[in-house]
Amino acid sequence: MDIETKLAMIRGFAQEIVTEDDLRHVFETNEHPVAYDGFEPSGVAPIHFGLQRAKNVKRMLDSGVRFKLFLADYYAFINNKLEGNLEHIRKAGEYFVEVWKACGIDTSKVEVLWAKDIMDAIGYWDRVIRIGRDTTLDRVKRAITIMGRKEGENLSAAQLFYPAMQVSDVFELEVDICEMGMDQRKANMLAREIAHKENWRMPVAVHHPLMLGLQGMPVGVSLKDQPEIAAEYKMSKSNPKSAIYIHDSYEIIKQKINGAYCPEGVVYGNPLFNYLELVIIDDQTAPITIDRPQKFGGPIEFSSYADLLEKYRTGGVHPADLKAYVAGELEKLVGPARAHFENDRRAAELYKEVSSYMITR
């Protein structure tokens, strides 16, 4: 695969690449660069964790990238997830691996790592201290949004370590690419600054868009330019009202989609179009057919995703028809993942146990 094709594959799901020239250089100098994404094990998986992340990882693998999936157990502990119970957090991490399998990631082709396995060495903490020395306290406080906290929120002393630890992971894991959501942008940009100060290898930041919660997002908030504000409207596993889970039945999916924010003619901030773009549609230039009862005119065809957008915007598609289409397409993706947990004994046991835990923020 040539470099232009690799770049195009990553552009296809990225909202931002910092910088594309740097990414091009990575591919020019390394046939199999290393990328990573990190996760706090903290509860039952919604579709953004399962479907969106799996889709991104598979595209990275297809472009020749070697991927590291990082289970941030001590980060979840610091952040008081699952009541700060490390045993529960690590069980949730094992469940996360099953989620990736269920959503189509070949775990034999990725490296699954735990924070606990890289934090024993004195070299790790030497790096954390160096990063802390190169970073002002004000900058650390501004970066706490990466852990789902608001700037200015009352923090524990341990939580102040979190940004320096996350930045340290980038260098400790020897990655070329940080492939994360836009809500992690501050950590990745700090990592690039630290790399310059310490003369460490500069990571490329590839940020994917946030998946909206069912409540949608108001006009005036920008997913790209205001990621911290937009993060308040993202799908969250700790907020069941905002999320579709990979374990939801088709009936539940339909109920949730039918109740989602989807005003007639409104595209911006409409979560259904967000789901179409991020997990449902692979080729936006391909035709789309929405089935509907004959009494309402029968199936309606669109030449492309852009055509569907425009027809909806101008009143040519009713919200009820769009909702039925999105629910059906999500079921095609969620169904196989749900079946994995129904048919695999270990996966089923992990899901049962993790779903019994108290979810804490």
- One domain for residues 124 and 199: yes
Residue 360 pLDDT: 66
- One domain for residues 70 and 195: yes
Residue 118's Cβ-count burial label (10 Å; 0-12, 13-18, 19+) is middle
- One domain for residues 74 and 189: yes
- One domain for residues 179 and 80: yes
Query: How distant is the alpha carbon of residue 66 from its chain centre?
Result: 18
Q: What is the DSSP letter of 303?
A: S
Q: Domain tally for the chain?
A: 2
- One domain for residues 56 and 181: yes
Residue 165 pLDDT: 93
- One domain for residues 157 and 289: no
Residue 227 pLDDT: 62
- Which pLDDT tens digit goes with each residue over 289-331? 999 888 888 899 999 999 999 999 999 999 999 999 999 999 9
- One domain for residues 245 and 202: no
CA 51/CA 47 separation, integer angstroms:
5
In a domain, residue 279? The reply is: yes
- One domain for residues 116 and 246: no
Which domain covers residue 167, as residue numbers?
3-208
Strands 288-290, 300-302: pairing kind: antiparallel
pLDDT at 88 over 70: yes
| Mean pLDDT calculated for residue range 260-268 | 94
**Among residues of the chain, what percentage have pLDDT more than 70?**
96
pLDDT at 23 over 90: yes
Residue 223 pLDDT: 62
Which CATH number belongs to the domain containing residue 317 in this structure? Answer: 1.10.240.10
Type of residue at 246: I
Residue 341 vs residue 145, higher pLDDT: 341
- One domain for residues 111 and 164: yes
- One domain for residues 111 and 255: no
